[in-house]
Amino acid sequence: MQLDPASGWCDGVRHCPSPNFNARPEGEISLLVIHNISLPPAQFSTGKVQEFFQNRLDVTQHPYFAGIADLRVSAHFLIERDGVVTQFVSCLDRAWHAGVSCFEGRETCNDFSIGIELEGTDDLPFTDAQYAALVCLTWQLQAAFRAITLPRICGHSDIAPGRKTDPGPAFDWARYRAALTEGEGQ
């Protein structure tokens, strides 16, 4: 995969454009937020996340969907269990992933962050393929947006405590950060 800094789109990944984005305010892209998602909950490889981010989710297909039917959300990227990466929004635009949020006293994290969803749940381990894809994608993002340093990579739970719990206790932060550090300079 290769991020084109001029367009904000990655080559070598699936593109599934979402209508759920808008222009960022002027300023830096300086935060990376890690999430998890599965639709229906704890079910994988359903294609429903893609449908949800494109406002095409058939709410009659599962009882859980009725509660999210009116939400308009997106993320920049989704990494599925097999490591396949899908991009929904250009990194240069504001995806709607963080909601009400605050990082180091600065609110509205969507303004200055990139959101990556991992297909999963808070309590099921993520796959080796997901960690490998996440590390590779993070390196691409860090090369394009130098302000995204290790201390500026966090979970949704860090910027929306009490409201969000993802990526959850099953996400191995030590493994992820060690892999990022080992690959510095790539």
* Catalytic residue of the set 80, 117, 182, 184: 117
* Cα 62 to Cα 58: distance, rounded to the nearest angstrom: 8
Per the annotation, the verdict on 117 as an active-site residue is yes
Give the Cα-Cα-Cα angle 82, 142, 182 (nearest 5 degrees): 70
Tell me the three state secondary structure of residue 140: helix
Give the Cα-Cα-Cα angle 107, 158, 121 (nearest 5 degrees): 125
* Cα torsion 158, 78, 176, 143: sign: negative
Catalytically annotated residues: 117
